[in-house]
C-alpha cells in the first residue's frame, strides 16, 4: 500500500470529534467501491502542466461522463486543449483497451473522424499537450486513493481547504517518495515514458459527502526525467522534457447514477493513417 501522511478536516455536521484512523481509512480506501455502486457520474475537470523554469506548457478543461466498473468506460468532451498560441476542442472515448480521439483541429490524412491512440502516432503540437496523457484521467488518480494508509497526522484538522457544497468531509493526503510506492510510475504509459522521477511529492485533497461518495478531488505535484534513474534505459534522452514540470488537476463529481452509454464508432470511421498532427 502507498505510504502517506494524512491530514483531516471534519465538516460542520461531524461535530468536534475527529474521525479515527480506521474511519478515515474506510472512507478513502472505499472510494472506487462506492463510485461503482453509484454506477455513473459526470466529472468536470481542469488540468495543467508547466515547467519550473522554461519550456512547453499545456492545459485542459472539459467534462467526462463515466461508467464505473471493474473496467470503466467514459466519454470526455474537452472544451479546450490549450498550448501556446492555440486552443482547440476535442472528444475522447475510452472502452476496454481502446481510446479514440476526435477533433476538428487534427489533420487526419485519410479524413476519418476518429483516431485510435494504440494504432496512430498523434502529435498535439508537442507531447505534453496530449489530452490522453493522464493528467485529466480521473480513474488514474482515483486508484491512488484506494491504497491510502492514514498515518501520522490522521486526526489533525487542516482548516485550509475550501468548502464544497454537500461534501463536508475533507482530507489532505501527501504521498512521500520515501514510502517507496508513490508515483511515478503513474499507471499512464505516456506519463511514465516522459517522466521517471518525482520533484515535489504528490498531494491530494479530497471531499466526500455523508454517504462516502467522492465529490471533488484535487491533485498537484511535480515530475522530471532523471538520467541517473534511467540508467541503461536512457536510450532516447532527447525525447524527454528538460527540467522539472509541475502538474495540477481538479475533478468535481455529480449526476451520480444518470445513464451513461459509451458507444464506439464503426471501424470505417476510425483512421488508418499512421500519423496525425495538429493543423497549423
Q: Specify the 3-state DSSP secondary structure of 91.
A: strand
Q: What is the 3-state secondary structure (H, E, C) of 55-85?
A: CCCEEEEEEEEEECCCCCEEEEEEEEEEECC
Strands, E assignment, the chain: 2-9, 40-51, 58-67, 73-83, 86-95, 98-102, 106-107, 115-116, 121-123, 148-149, 169-175, 197-198, 202-208, 214-224, 245-254, 275-278
All three cell numbers of 229: 534513474
pLDDT in tens, 207-223: 999 999 999 999 999 99
**pLDDT at 233 (0 to 100):** 61
Q: If pLDDT is split at 50, 70 and 90, which confidence band does 65 have?
A: very high
Q: What is the mean pLDDT of residues 246-259?
A: 97
All three cell numbers of 72: 470503466
pLDDT in tens, 35-62: 999 999 999 999 999 999 888 899 999 9
Q: Where are the alpha helices (DSSP H) in the chain?
A: 21-29, 31-38, 138-145, 189-194, 227-230
All three cell numbers of 267: 471501424
pLDDT in tens, 157-215: 456 688 888 888 888 888 776 655 678 888 899 999 899 998 888 888 889 999 999 99
120-129, 143-152, 263-272: which range is least confident on average? Answer: 143-152
Global pTM? 0.89
Q: How far apart are CA 67 and CA 56, in angstroms?
A: 33
**pLDDT at 177 (0 to 100):** 67
**pLDDT at 157 (0 to 100):** 42
**pLDDT at 9 (0 to 100):** 41
For the chain, give every domain's residue range: 2-278
**pLDDT at 237 (0 to 100):** 57
pLDDT in tens, 77-110: 999 999 888 899 999 999 999 999 999 999 999 9
| Candidates 2.50.20.20, 1.10.357.10, 3.40.50.300, 2.40.50.140; CATH matching 2-278 | 2.50.20.20
**pLDDT at 182 (0 to 100):** 75
**pLDDT at 134 (0 to 100):** 95
All three cell numbers of 120: 496512430
Q: If pLDDT is split at 50, 70 and 90, which confidence band does 228 have?
A: confident
**pLDDT at 34 (0 to 100):** 94
**pLDDT at 175 (0 to 100):** 79
Q: What distances in angstroms separate CA 273 from CA 13, 269, 277, one per listed residue?
A: 56, 12, 11
Query: Do 148 and 78 form a contact (C-beta atoms < 8 A)?
Result: no
Q: How far apart are CA 175 and CA 183, in angstroms?
A: 8
Strand-pair partners of 101: 92, 115
- b/e per residue, 68-95, with b = 16+ CB within 10 A? beeebbbbbebeebbbeeeebebbbbbb
**pLDDT at 58 (0 to 100):** 94
Amino acid at each position: 500500500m502507498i505510504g502517506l501522511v494524512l491530514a483531516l478536516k471534519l465538516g460542520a455536521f461531524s461535530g468536534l470529534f475527529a474521525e479515527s484512523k480506521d474511519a478515515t481509512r474506510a472512507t478513502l480506501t472505499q472510494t472506487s467501491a462506492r463510485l461503482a455502486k453509484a454506477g455513473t457520474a459526470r466529472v468536470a475537470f481542469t488540468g495543467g502542466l508547466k515547467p519550473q523554469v522554461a519550456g512547453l506548457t499545456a492545459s485542459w478543461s472539459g467534462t467526462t461522463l463515466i461508467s464505473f466498473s471493474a473496467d470503466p468506460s467514459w466519454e470526455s468532451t474537452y472544451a479546450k486543449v490549450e498550448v501556446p498560441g492555440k486552443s482547440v476542442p476535442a472528444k475522447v472515448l475510452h472502452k476496454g483497451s481502446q481510446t479514440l480521439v476526435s477533433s476538428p483541429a487534427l489533420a487526419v490524412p485519410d479524413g476519418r473522424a476518429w483516431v485510435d491512440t494504440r494504432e496512430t502516432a498523434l502529435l498535439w503540437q508537442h507531447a505534453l499537450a496530449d489530452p490522453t496523457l493522464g493528467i485529466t484521467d480521473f480513474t488514474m488518480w482515483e486508484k491512488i486513493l484506494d491504497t491510502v494508509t492514514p498515518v501520522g497526522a490522521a486526526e489533525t484538522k487542516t482548516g485550509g481547504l475550501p468548502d464544497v457544497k454537500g461534501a463536508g468531509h475533507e482530507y489532505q493526503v501527501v504521498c512521500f517518495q520515501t514510502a517507496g510506492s508513490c508515483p511515478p510510475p503513474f499507471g499512464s504509459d505516456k506519463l511514465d515514458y516522459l517522466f521517471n522521477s518525482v520533484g515535489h511529492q504528490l498531494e491530494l485533497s479530497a471531499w466526500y459527502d455523508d454517504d462516502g461518495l467522492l465529490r471533488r478531488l484535487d491533485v498537484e505535484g511535480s515530475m522530471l526525467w532523471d538520467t541517473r534513474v534511467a540508467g541503461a534505459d536512457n536510450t532516447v534522452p532527447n525525447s524527454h522534457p528538460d527540467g522539472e514540470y509541475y502538474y495540477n488537476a481538479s475533478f468535481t463529481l455529480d449526476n451520480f447514477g444518470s445513464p451513461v452509454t459509451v458507444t464506439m464508432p464503426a471501424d470505417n470511421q476510425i483512421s488508418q493513417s499512421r500519423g496525425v498532427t495538429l493543423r497549423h
